């Protein structure tokens, strides 16, 4: 709220505040407030217009732990991806190439962990499998295409 009500003061304090936020552990209780703050802040570019690479890296450092689907629910993981994407898009073009490796390394260590099907979050996954439950007509068309591809490859081989 103070970022909106006292922008002149926050412009000066924000870089140090962002760095201090990196010292807060990524817990379930802190996930929503932290990510929603960063999501709101990215929409106020006048506040971070003078950010240097260190502050952007701090934003990514805050957000990346929340991309771990084995620790956080889908809302938090999705919001973390949103925050990372928005801050990456809004950072200066000259900084982007330097952040790519940092972000991808963080995503690999957090987001690419497989879901544990026996875990409590699996109930959400069961509800969200609509992409796998294609209509029969689409499944039949896919099977027909696969059969045609096999037939074509056997004609070419023979």
In a domain, 142, yes or no: no
Confidence label for 127 from pLDDT (cuts 50, 70 and 90): very low
Range of 24's domain? 2-127
In a domain, 149, yes or no: no
Q: What is the mean pLDDT of residues 22-44?
A: 95
In a domain, 157, yes or no: no
Instruction: Tabulate helix, strand, coil % of the chain (nearest 5).
Output: 75, 0, 25
CB 61 within 8 A of CB 20: no
In a domain, 135, yes or no: no
In a domain, 133, yes or no: no
Per-residue model confidence (pLDDT) at position 113: 53
In a domain, 39, yes or no: yes
Q: What is the mean pLDDT of residues 20-31?
A: 95
| CA nearest neighbour of 37 among 72, 71, 79 | 79
Confidence label for 109 from pLDDT (cuts 50, 70 and 90): confident
Torsions phi, psi for 140 (to 5 deg): -65, -40
Average per-residue pLDDT for the chain: 77
- pTM for this entry: 0.67
Greater confidence (8 vs 109) lies with 109
What is the count of structural domains for the chain? Answer: 1
Q: Which residues have CB under 8 Å from 110's CB, separation 6+?
A: 64, 65, 67, 68
Q: What is the mean pLDDT of residues 91-97?
A: 90
Greater confidence (140 vs 17) lies with 17
Per-residue model confidence (pLDDT) at position 3: 60
Question: 62-93: string of b/e by CB count within 10 Å (b at 16+)?
Answer: bbbbbbbbebbeeebbebbbebbebbbeebee
Per-residue model confidence (pLDDT) at position 65: 95
In a domain, 134, yes or no: no
Query: Can you give 87-127 as a three-state secondary structure string?
Result: HHHHCCHHHHHHHHHHHHHHHHHHCCCCCCCCCCCHHHHHH
């Amino acid at each position: 709220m103070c970022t909106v009500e006292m922008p002149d003061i926050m412009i000066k304090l924000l870089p140090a505040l962002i760095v201090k936020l990196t010292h807060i552990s990524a817990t379930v209780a802190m996930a929503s407030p932290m990510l929603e703050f960063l999501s709101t802040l990215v929409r106020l570019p006048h506040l971070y217009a003078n950010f240097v690479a260190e502050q952007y890296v701090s934003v990514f450092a805050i957000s990346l732990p929340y991309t771990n689907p084995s620790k956080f629910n889908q809302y938090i993981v999705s919001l973390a991806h949103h925050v990372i994407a928005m801050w990456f898009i809004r950072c200066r073009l000259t900084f982007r190439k330097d952040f790519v490796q940092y972000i991808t390394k963080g995503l690999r260590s957090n987001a690419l962990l497989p879901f544990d099907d026996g875990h409590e979050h699996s109930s959400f996954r069961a509800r969200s499998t609509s992409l796998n439950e294609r209509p029969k007509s689409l499944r039949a068309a896919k099977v027909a295409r696969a059969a045609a591809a096999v037939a074509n490859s056997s004609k070419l081989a023979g």
